[in-house]
Amino acid sequence: MTNITNKVAVVTGAGRGIGRAIAVELAKMGARVVVAARSVSELEETARMAGLASVVPTDVRRQNEVHRLLEHAETQLGPVDILVNAAGIGVSGPVVGFSDADFEAVLDTNLKSIFLTCRGVLPSMTARGTGHIVNIASIAGKVGSANLAVYCASKFGVVGFTQALAEEVRQHGIRVSLICPGSTDTSFFGGTGKASKARERMLTPADIAHAVAMLVTQEANSFISEVVIRPTMKP
């Protein structure tokens, strides 16, 4: 397996949950990790857990802030070798009652941010002929659910974008991978895990971090295009 010691990794959504677990795991593997999220206090806690992680408060929905994040990573640590897009929000509710503001927030956070970060790292990765991008989607990007139409739309978009981008850049030595987790014990939809489901049967953020570790340590002649992770027992 490929060693990622001293590789520069940027992880969005790293203030808590899945993003935090991924940042900590990559740091343990020797990568030099830059963590991004909107909450400074949450990022600082992630940095403490990860050791040498570099903190850059970022609203990944905004192009200027994404540019500042990537510029910081390259200036301080070097060209980005690994990009993990884990930023995401969930807003549930029937379509007839869904606000324009919530629609824009979900699509901008879950989908537009991935476009912005990928567009930002690709020129350098293409010039160097190497790089790995991992986008975190969801089972909701494959199967629709009642009262999650907008969230599902955003994640279906992530799946399509990732699949298309992988074909677009693989000729340049860049690998683009997709992870679709099932029910995961986080505070994603508000609260500590989904109250209606048995938390002990849900995935943990560490399960997704383990999958990321597997992806980014593949030998250069191959890449895993997609990983779907489900709990062993249905919550």
For residue 229, list its beta bridge partners: 181
What kind and span of H or E run contains 149? helix 149-169
What was the pLDDT predicted at 104?
98
Nearest-angstrom CA–CA distance, 23 and 232: 25
* CB-facing half-sphere around the CA of 98: CA atoms within 13 A: 19
Nearest-angstrom CA–CA distance, 203 and 158: 21
Return per-residue pLDDT of the chain as tens, 235 residues: 799 999 999 999 999 999 999 999 999 999 999 999 999 999 999 999 999 889 999 999 999 999 999 999 999 999 999 999 999 999 999 999 999 999 999 999 999 999 999 999 999 999 999 999 999 999 999 999 999 999 999 999 999 999 999 999 999 999 999 999 998 888 764 544 445 557 778 899 999 999 999 999 999 889 999 999 999 887 6
Residue 231 in tokens = 């709990």
Q: Is 110 a catalytic residue?
A: no
What kind and span of H or E run contains 37? strand 32-37
- Which domains are seen in the chain, by residue range? 8-229 (3.40.50.720)
DSSP string, 6-51: T-EEEEESTTSHHHHHHHHHHHHTT-EEEEEES-HHHHHHHHHHHS
Candidate list 151, 156, 161, 188, residue with the active-site label: 151
Q: What share of the chain is helix, strand, coil (3-state, %, to 5)?
A: 45, 15, 35
What pTM, to 2 d.p., does this model score?
A: 0.93
Nearest-angstrom CA–CA distance, 190 and 89: 10
Nearest-angstrom CA–CA distance, 44 and 234: 34
What was the pLDDT predicted at 15?
96
DSSP assigned state of 123: H
- CA-closest candidate to residue 77, choices 26, 19, 140, 136: 26
